[in-house]
């Protein structure tokens, strides 16, 4: 009885939710076309908070950029590229934004570059599937006393090789998830996580930083392997935010 | 070193210290802007001083004669400067004069011998409670005049300081300075108010300010219209550094008494009026329902301070008729009039949303197509990039933006073709020319120049980035070629080093696949928990295989387990038969139970066992009752199976014995 109610409710609620989402995106696009970038950004931001997707983040970045908010724009494009590294639109806009604002792109290590070859959520699935396939290829024939075949071994070896190949990418995804973007211009990089701390460097909106640790309302970041210090949490947007 | 100036009449000086008719001596600092302070005469003094040389000792006394000669007494020597010629010892020692000094000398002096003062109410007749202007005009420089701190206003007349200004009028061979002090006056009651004469200090002398009379009619009395100046400018949402248009409107009384406005400007602490930028017109306007053609003058003002500012508009008005008697001593005088004070609120340009390349530009601008002096240039040769910005804004108040440092470019600060400080209200453009030198043949376009402005209409910063212009750079030779070769190579991985200038992609129509979160899967708990499923499945398979192998190696365990299951099943049926008092079924299932319990120990088929086999499996020390029970049950079963004859209900008495024997056999199945 309860299951039936749930199914009926989902059958009615899901189309309504989809219609609301479509209407919200359409309204945001119309506001964008009319030049009301702040409203368009607000709508895209709300949609992205409910169902993150490459297109919504890309459009959010465009609206933020035209509204004059460089930091949030680059963060949104980074998130679009995070979900889909093959998105040429996100790549182009990131390149455009950084070029226009004279901001350096984050320097990625080799395994981080490898992690951008596929969508960020693809690597764990590939790693999981390849690992268990390799283990299964070894265990199941033995358990069921199948006659040993060469392809059993080859399949297990190939699956395990794929699993090993995904490990650097998984590490890259993990380290890239610590990347952040400075949201506000003239953000102070402080020596200690306090408001009265001495400022060593002033960061520009849109600059990339890696979060190394957190304490209270501050995060310790490193700028492209160079300067490091504490910044206020709300002045930094982490790409893989929870 | 100091020297003294002794002068009976120091013509040409613009400072009050030189205006005294009495000979006086005053010390001057030699170093500093001496020539600027003393004007042309001082410049001559300096020349003569340099000609004479720097006397090491003795005091130098400089005097000027009524004939205009300047006499320098230094020790035993005497130097006379007259008519641009320097004479020493009766001989002309220098006849060469700098043309600039000659030009300075040719300027007529400012007349400071006579200080004449005029005082009047404008208009002289007003209704009670309305405003009029009490104006004092003195033929002296403003800095030389000291008015009493509090004017002797009659009772019933409220005076407030208004505008003040200074003008110079060339009267032919002499310049007359005229300083005007306006006071806003407001009579309270009808009658005739007399502003008494009082003394003002003009360059140390007491000058009498004559009395002035004001006729005050009862409130509401009809009066002829008088020219009045009003200030119109935005009072809110103006920003520091913004060029704000202010309009001074002089209403026409209908008799064309007002011909023009001159020296229109807006006064206020923290406000800067763009001098020389004004536009006068006579637009047709409607005031109080009546069409009129006032004289309107637009000026540009720039607030320089945050907060509320009190501003007053001022202008000299050229009237068709002016009282010839009152202004007899001041021919060509244009009365200074001012507006009621206006309070404007000035804000700072918000830092929020400030974009790269903001250099103080405020307004609405449009970037015209860029012009490059050449499309092909050799590395090391300069190329000029002209940027023209049009629109409305503070063209004279912002600096041209500079591109970010680029190892492939040498960029010189831009120059303005026309002075950016000069701006006509209707023109509205600024042109900058950048001189760029490509240091590498790798570059294919001019550097991007970040530029942004603050739009006061939208209250937001706006991007006007100066885009790159395509350019072909050919390899250099010689020294430049070496420098190009030594230039750091750009990182090929850097997207900014790509040849093509990046462009922004538009909105995406498709949202694409949605994800629950941006957090990678390997950091989510449910994904890690999901990995337990295949692990558990494979582990289960492995354990199952282990047990299967174990049981294959120990078949007695399998038989005992089967025996236990069969024993349990048959004993349940025995209990059913007992409840139904069915002797045949009791015997049949009791025998089956005994066979099932005994069979695993002999690895035999249970149906093949006889009573002896079962009795052999009974534990040691079993009494004869158990064996008798077994024999009787098997006998009864055989009798029923072979002769179809039942023993009757008497066999049911073996119930307790059967349970005991079955229990003993079951115990053996667990060992």
* Alpha-helical runs (H) found in A84-203: 88-101, 110-115, 122-143, 150-176
Mean pLDDT, residues B420-447 taken together: 73
Distance from the Cα of B472 to chain A's closest Cα (Å) equals 20
B chain contacts of residue A98, beta-carbon cutoff 8 Å:
495-496
B523/A120 Cβ within 8 A: no
Contact B366, B389 (CB under 8 A): yes
Residue given tokens 């209409």 in the structure block: B457
Contact B435, B416 (CB under 8 A): no
B chain contacts of residue A125, beta-carbon cutoff 8 Å:
521
**What would the two tokens of residue A76 be?**
């949104």
pTM of the shown model: 0.45
Distance in angstroms (rounded) separating the CA atoms of residues B148 and B198: 9
A53/B512 Cβ within 8 A: yes
- Please return the burial class of B183, using the count of CB atoms within 10 Å of its CB with bins 0-12, 13-18 and 19+: buried
**What would the two tokens of residue B533 be?**
């499923």
Mutation to test the B interface, candidates A18, A90, A95, A211, most B Cβ within 10 Å: A95
User: What are A58-72's pLDDT values in tens digits?
Assistant: 999 999 998 889 999
Residue B262 has pLDDT above 50, yes or no: yes
pLDDT computed for residue B33 by the predictor: 35
Residues A68/A72/A78/A84 CA torsion (nearest 10 deg): -90
Mean pLDDT, residues B389-416 taken together: 80
DSSP characters over B598-610: HHHHHT--GGG--
pLDDT computed for residue A239 by the predictor: 92
ipTM for the whole complex: 0.87
pLDDT computed for residue B1 by the predictor: 35
A185/B505 Cβ within 8 A: no
Please tell me the least confidently modeled range out of A83-87, A161-165, B244-248. Answer: B244-248
Contact B159, B134 (CB under 8 A): yes
Q: How would residue B70 be classed by pLDDT, with cut points 50, 70 and 90?
A: low
Residue A172 or B37, more confident: A172
List residues bridging with A181 in a β-sheet: A208, A237
**What would the two tokens of residue B543 be?**
């354990």
Mean model confidence pLDDT for chain A: 89
pLDDT computed for residue B19 by the predictor: 34
User: What are B541-583's pLDDT values in tens digits?
Assistant: 999 999 999 999 998 899 999 999 999 999 999 999 999 988 8
Which residues contact residue B284 at a Cβ distance below 8 angstroms, ignoring those fewer than 6 apart?
Answer: B291, B292, B293
What region does B603 belong to: left with phi over 0, alpha with psi -120 to 50, or beta? left
Residue B224 has pLDDT above 80, yes or no: no
Which residues contact residue A213 at a Cβ distance below 8 angstroms, ignoring those fewer than 6 apart?
Answer: A219, A220
**Pair type for strands A208-215 and B91-94:** unpaired
**Pair type for strands B460-463 and B452-455:** antiparallel
> Burial letters for B345-362: b for 16+ Cβ neighbours within 10 Å, e otherwise?
ebbebeeebbbbbbeebb
User: What are A122-134's pLDDT values in tens digits?
Assistant: 999 999 999 999 9
**What would the two tokens of residue A90 be?**
């996100």
Mutation to test the A interface, candidates B364, B443, B461, B515, most A Cβ within 10 Å: B515
Residue B491 has pLDDT above 60, yes or no: no
DSSP characters over B140-196: S-GGGEE--SS--PPTTEEEEEEEEEEEEEE-SSSEEEEEEEEEEEEE-SSEEEEE-
**What's the Cα-to-Cα distance from A204 to each of A93, A95, A104, A207, B601, rounded to whole Å?**
18, 16, 11, 6, 87
pLDDT computed for residue A78 by the predictor: 94
**What would the two tokens of residue B449 be?**
């120049």
Distance in angstroms (rounded) separating the CA atoms of residues A54 and A120: 12
Mean pLDDT, residues B367-378 taken together: 87
- Selection from A194, A201, A197, A193 nearest residue A228 by Cα: A201
pLDDT computed for residue A185 by the predictor: 86
DSSP characters over B264-302: EEEE-TTEEEEEEEEEEE---EEETTEEE--EEEEEEEE
- Selection from A81, A74, A93, A17 nearest residue A51 by Cα: A17
Which residues contact residue B105 at a Cβ distance below 8 angstroms, ignoring those fewer than 6 apart?
Answer: B12, B40, B44, B84
pLDDT computed for residue B11 by the predictor: 37
Sheet with B229-232, edge to edge strand ranges: B229-232, B244-250, B295-303, B271-281
DSSP type of residue B397: G
Mean pLDDT, residues B388-398 taken together: 81
Residue given tokens 């300047």 in the structure block: B70
| Chain B residue with minimum CA distance to A28 | B507
Q: How would residue B242 be classed by pLDDT, with cut points 50, 70 and 90?
A: confident
Distance in angstroms (rounded) separating the CA atoms of residues B466 and B389: 10
A142/B518 Cβ within 8 A: no
CA atoms within 13 A on the CB side of B648: 1
A chain contacts of residue B353, beta-carbon cutoff 8 Å:
67-69
Which residues contact residue A209 at a Cβ distance below 8 angstroms, ignoring those fewer than 6 apart?
Answer: A179, A180, A181, A182, A203, A221, A222, A223, A231, A236
Mean model confidence pLDDT for chain B: 77
**Pair type for strands A179-182 and B91-94:** unpaired
Mutation to test the A interface, candidates B357, B460, B511, B544, most A Cβ within 10 Å: B511
Of the candidates A53, A79, A89, the beta carbon closest to that of B505 is on: A89
Residue given tokens 């049911």 in the structure block: B652
Distance in angstroms (rounded) separating the CA atoms of residues A56 and B513: 10
Mean pLDDT, residues B246-261 taken together: 77
User: What are B612-659's pLDDT values in tens digits?
Assistant: 899 888 887 777 888 889 999 999 888 888 877 777 778 888 889 899
Residue A159 or B398, more confident: A159
Distance from the Cα of B663 to chain A's closest Cα (Å) equals 39
| Chain A residue with minimum CA distance to B351 | A185
> Can you say how many angstroms the Cα of residue A100 is from the centroid of all Cα atoms in its chain?
23
Task: Map residue A85 onto helix, strand or coil.
Answer: coil
Out of A171-175, B71-75, B467-471, the most confident range is A171-175
| Chain B residue with minimum CA distance to A171 | B522
Please tell me the least confidently modeled range out of B273-282, B360-369, B578-587. Answer: B273-282
Q: How would residue B281 be classed by pLDDT, with cut points 50, 70 and 90?
A: confident
**What would the two tokens of residue B206 be?**
């007491």
A56 touches chain B (CB under 8 A): yes
User: What are A92-117's pLDDT values in tens digits?
Assistant: 999 999 988 888 888 899 999 999 99
**What would the two tokens of residue B298 be?**
């637009």
A53/B511 Cβ within 8 A: yes
Distance from the Cα of B539 to chain A's closest Cα (Å) equals 9
User: What are A10-53's pLDDT values in tens digits?
Assistant: 677 667 777 777 888 888 888 888 888 899 999 999 989 888 99
Task: Map residue B131 onto helix, strand or coil.
Answer: coil
Residue A183 has pLDDT above 90, yes or no: yes
Mean pLDDT, residues B327-352 taken together: 82
**What's the Cα-to-Cα distance from B63 to each of B58, B109, B550, rounded to whole Å?**
16, 17, 134
Residue B422 has pLDDT above 50, yes or no: no
Q: How would residue A6 be classed by pLDDT, with cut points 50, 70 and 90?
A: confident
> Can you say how many angstroms the Cα of residue B290 is from the centroid of all Cα atoms in its chain?
45
């Amino acid at each position: 009885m309860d299951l039936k109610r749930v199914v009926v409710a989902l059958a009615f609620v899901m189309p309504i939710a989809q219609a609301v989402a479509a209407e919200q995106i359409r309204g945001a696009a119309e506001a964008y076309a009319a030049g009301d970038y702040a409203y368009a950004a607000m709508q895209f931001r709300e949609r992205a908070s409910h169902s993150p997707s490459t297109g919504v983040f890309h459009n959010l970045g465009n609206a933020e950029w035209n509204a004059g908010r460089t930091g949030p724009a680059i963060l949104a494009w980074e998130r679009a590229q995070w979900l889909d590294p093959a998105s040429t639109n996100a790549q182009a806009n990131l390149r455009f934004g950084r070029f226009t604002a004279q901001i350096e792109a984050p320097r990625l290590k080799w395994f981080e570059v490898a992690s951008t070859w596929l969508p960020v959520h693809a690597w764990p699935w590939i790693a999981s599937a390849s690992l268990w396939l390799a283990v299964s290829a070894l265990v199941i024939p033995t358990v069921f006393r199948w006659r040993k075949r060469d392809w059993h071994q080859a399949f297990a070896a190939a699956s395990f090789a794929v699993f090993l190949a995904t490990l650097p990418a998984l590490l890259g995804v993990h380290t890239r998830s610590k990347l952040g973007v400075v949201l506000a211009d003239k953000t102070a990089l402080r020596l200690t996580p306090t408001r009265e701390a001495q400022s060593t460097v002033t960061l520009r909106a849109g600059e990339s930083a890696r979060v190394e640790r957190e304490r209270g309302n501050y995060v310790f970041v490193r700028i492209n392997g160079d300067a490091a210090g504490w910044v206020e949490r709300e002045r930094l947007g982490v790409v893989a935010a929870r | 070193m100091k020297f003294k100036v002794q002068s009976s009449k120091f013509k040409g000086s613009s400072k009050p210290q030189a205006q005294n008719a009495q000979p006086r001596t005053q010390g001057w600092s030699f170093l500093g802007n001496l020539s600027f302070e003393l004007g042309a005469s001082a410049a001559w003094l300096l020349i003569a001083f340099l000609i004479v040389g720097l006397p090491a000792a003795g005091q130098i006394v400089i005097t000027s004669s009524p004939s205009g000669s300047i006499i320098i007494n230094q020790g035993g020597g005497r130097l006379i400067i007259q008519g641009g010629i320097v004479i020493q010892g009766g001989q002309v020692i220098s006849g060469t004069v700098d043309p600039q000094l000659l030009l300075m000398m040719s300027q007529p002096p400012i007349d400071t011998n006579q200080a004449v003062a005029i005082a009047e109410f404008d208009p002289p007749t007003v209704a009670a409670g309305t405003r009029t202007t009490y104006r004092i005009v003195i033929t002296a420089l403003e800095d030389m005049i000291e008015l009493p701190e509090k004017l002797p206003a009659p009772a019933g007349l409220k005076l407030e300081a208004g505008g003040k200004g200074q003008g110079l009028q060339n009267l032919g061979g002499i310049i007359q300075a005229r300083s005007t002090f306006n006071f806003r006056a407001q009579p309270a009651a009808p009658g005739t108010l007399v502003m008494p004469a009082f003394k003002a200090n003009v360059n140390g002398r007491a000058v009498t300010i004559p009395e002035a009379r004001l006729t005050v009619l009862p409130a509401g009395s009809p009066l002829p219209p008088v020219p009045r100046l009003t200030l119109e400018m935005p009072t809110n949402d103006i920003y520091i550094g913004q060029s704000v248009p202010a309009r001074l409107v002089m209403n026409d009384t209908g008799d064309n008494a007002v011909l023009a406005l001159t020296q229109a400007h807006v006064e206020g602490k923290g406000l800067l009026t763009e001098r020389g930028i004004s536009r006068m017109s006579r637009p047709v306007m409607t005031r109080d329902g009546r069409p009129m053609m006032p004289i309107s003058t637009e000026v540009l003002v720039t607030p320089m301070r945050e907060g509320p500012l009190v501003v007053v508009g001022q202008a000299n008005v050229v009237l068709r008729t002016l009282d010839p008697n009152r202004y007899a001593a001041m021919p060509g005088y244009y009365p200074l009039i001012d507006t009621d004070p206006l309070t404007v609120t000035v804000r700072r340009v918000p830092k929020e949303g400030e974009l790269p390349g903001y250099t103080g530009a405020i307004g609405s601008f449009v970037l015209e197509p860029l012009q490059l002096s050449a499309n092909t240039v050799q590395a090391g040769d300069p190329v000029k990039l002209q940027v023209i910005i049009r629109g409305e804004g503070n063209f004279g108040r912002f600096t041209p933006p500079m591109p970010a440092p680029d190892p492939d470019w040498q960029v010189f600060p831009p120059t303005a073709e026309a002075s950016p400080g000069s701006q006509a209200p209707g023109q509205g453009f600024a042109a900058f020319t950048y001189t760029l030198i490509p240091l590498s043949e790798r570059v294919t376009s001019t550097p991007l120049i970040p530029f942004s402005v603050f739009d006061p209409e939208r209250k937001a910063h706006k991007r006007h980035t100066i885009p790159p212009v395509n350019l072909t750079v050919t390899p250099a030779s010689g020294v430049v070629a070496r420098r190009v070769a030594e230039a750091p190579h750009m990182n090929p991985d850097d997207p900014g080093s790509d040849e093509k200038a990046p462009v922004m992609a538009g909105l995406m129509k498709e949202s694409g696949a949605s994800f629950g979160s941006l957090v990678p899967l390997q950091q989510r708990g449910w994904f890690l928990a999901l990995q337990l499923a295949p692990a558990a499945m494979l582990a289960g398979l492995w354990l199952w295989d282990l047990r299967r192998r174990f049981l294959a190696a120990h078949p007695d365990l399998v038989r005992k387990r089967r025996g236990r299951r069969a024993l349990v099943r048959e004993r349940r049926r025995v209990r059913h038969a007992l409840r139904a008092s069915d002797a045949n079924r009791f015997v049949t299932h009791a025998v089956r139970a005994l066979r099932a319990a005994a069979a695993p120990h002999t690895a035999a088929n249970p149906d093949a066992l006889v009573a002896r086999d079962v009795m052999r499996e009974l534990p040691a020390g079993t009494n004869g009752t158990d064996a008798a029970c077994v024999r009787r049950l098997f006998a009864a079963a055989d009798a029923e199976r072979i002769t179809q004859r039942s023993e009757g209900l008497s066999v049911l008495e073996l119930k307790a014995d059967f349970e005991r024997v079955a229990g003993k056999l079951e115990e053996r199945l667990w060992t």
